[in-house]
Amino acid sequence: MSDPQTPGQPETTTQGERVSSRRAPSPGKVVPVSTYRLQLGADLTFDDVAARTGYYASLGVTHLYLSPILAAAPGSTHGYDVVDHLRVSDVLGGRAGLDRLAAVAHEAGLGLVLDIVPNHMAVPTPAWHNAALWSVLSEGPESRFARWFDVDWSGGEGALLMPVLGGRIGDVLASGDLTVEVEEIPGCDGEQTVLRYFDHVFPVRKGTESLPLAELVDRQFYRIAHWRVGDEELNYRRFFDVGTLAAIRVEDPEVFDETHALILELLDEGIVDGLRIDHPDGLADPSGYLSRLAEKSGGAWVSVEKILAGEEEVPRDWETVGTTGYEGLWRLQSTFVEPTGESRLASLMHRITGDEGDDLPEVVETSKREIVHGPLYAEVHRLTDLAAAICRDDPRLRDHTWRALNECFVELLVAFDRYRAYVVPGADTRRESVQAMEAAAAVARAHVDAVRQETLDMLVDLLLGKETGSAGRRRETRRDELVIRFQQVCGAVMAKGVEDTAFYRWMHLTSLCEVGGEPARFAVSTDDWHAFAERFATQTPLAQTTGSTHDTKRNEDTRARLGVLSEFAEEWAALVDALQAHTAPSRSRLLDGRTEYLVWQTIAGTWGLDGPITAERLTTYLLKAVREAKTWTTWTEPVEAYEDAVMNLARRALEDPVVVGLFDAWTERTASAVRAASLGIKLVQLTMPGVADVYQGTELFRPTLVDPDNRQPIDADDLVERLGRLDAGSNPRDLSEEKLLVTAAALRVRRSYPGAFIGPDAGYRPLAASSGCVLTFARTEGDGPRVVTLATRGAGSLQRLGGWREHTVTLPEGRWRDVLTDRVLDGGHQQIAPLLETYPVALLIPETES
Burial of 674 (0-12, 13-18, 19+ CB in 10 A): buried
Q: What's the pLDDT score for residue 38?
A: 98
Determine the average pLDDT of the residues in 831-841: 97
Q: What's the pLDDT score for residue 635?
A: 94
Q: What's the pLDDT score for residue 231?
A: 84
Q: Is the pLDDT of residue 10 over 80?
A: no
pLDDT band at 21 (very low <50, low <70, confident <90, very high): confident
Q: What is the pLDDT of residues 770-796, one digit of tens each?
A: 999 999 999 999 989 999 999 999 999
Q: What is the pLDDT of residues 73-118, one digit of tens each?
A: 999 999 999 999 999 999 999 999 999 999 999 999 999 999 999 9
Determine the average pLDDT of the residues in 466-494: 91
Q: What's the pLDDT score for residue 92?
A: 98
Q: What is the pLDDT of residues 809-831, one digit of tens each?
A: 999 999 999 999 999 999 999 99
Q: Calculate the average pLDDT of the chain.
A: 94
Q: What's the pLDDT score for residue 157?
A: 65
Determine the average pLDDT of the residues in 543-560: 98
Determine the average pLDDT of the residues in 310-338: 96
Between 289 and 848, residue with greater pLDDT:
289
Q: Is the pLDDT of residue 172 over 80?
A: yes
Q: What's the pLDDT score for residue 18?
A: 58
- Tally of CA atoms within 13 A in the half-sphere of 192 that contains its CB: 18
Query: In terms of DSSP H, where are the helices of 688-814?
Result: 716-727, 735-752, 754-757, 795-800
DSSP 584-614: GGGS-TT--HHHHHHHHHHHHHH-BTTBSPP
Between 84 and 158, residue with greater pLDDT:
84
CA distances (Å), origin 645, targets 213, 355, 481, 595: 45, 21, 47, 10
Q: Is the pLDDT of residue 634 over 60?
A: yes
Kind and range of the H or E run holding 562: helix 556-563
Q: Is the pLDDT of residue 154 over 80?
A: no
Q: What's the pLDDT score for residue 849?
A: 57
3-state secondary structure of 264: helix
Determine the average pLDDT of the residues in 348-368: 98
What percentage of the chain carries pLDDT values higher than 90? Answer: 91
Q: Is the pLDDT of residue 156 over 60?
A: no
Determine the average pLDDT of the residues in 233-248: 84
Q: What's the pLDDT score for residue 470?
A: 84
pLDDT band at 189 (very low <50, low <70, confident <90, very high): confident
Q: What's the pLDDT score for residue 478?
A: 93
Q: What's the pLDDT score for residue 19?
A: 67
DSSP 277-328: ES-GGGSS-HHHHHHHHHHHHTS-EEEE--PPPTT----TT--SSEESSHHH
Q: What's the pLDDT score for residue 13?
A: 40
Q: What is the pLDDT of residues 405-447, one digit of tens each?
A: 999 999 999 999 999 999 999 888 989 999 999 999 999 999 9
> What is the signed CA dihedral for 643, 644, 645, 647, rounded to 10 degrees?
90
Determine the average pLDDT of the residues in 579-585: 96
SS in 3 state form for 478-500?
HHHHHHHHHHHHHHHHHHHHHHC
Q: What's the pLDDT score for residue 839?
A: 98
Contact (CB, 8 A) for 243 and 122: no
Kind and range of the H or E run holding 267: helix 253-268
Q: Is the pLDDT of residue 64 over 90?
A: yes
What percentage of the chain carries pLDDT values higher than 70? Answer: 97
pLDDT band at 17 (very low <50, low <70, confident <90, very high): very low
Q: Is the pLDDT of residue 637 over 90?
A: yes
Q: What is the pLDDT of residues 653-687, one digit of tens each?
A: 999 999 999 999 999 999 999 999 999 999 999 99
Determine the average pLDDT of the residues in 565-582: 98
Q: What's the pLDDT score for residue 237?
A: 83
Q: What is the pLDDT of residues 406-415, one digit of tens each?
A: 999 999 999 9
Q: What's the pLDDT score for residue 4?
A: 36
388 DSSP assignment? H
Determine the average pLDDT of the residues in 453-473: 92
* pTM of the full structure: 0.95
- Tally of CA atoms within 13 A in the half-sphere of 776 that contains its CB: 26
Distance between CA 746 and CA 818 in Å, rounded? 11
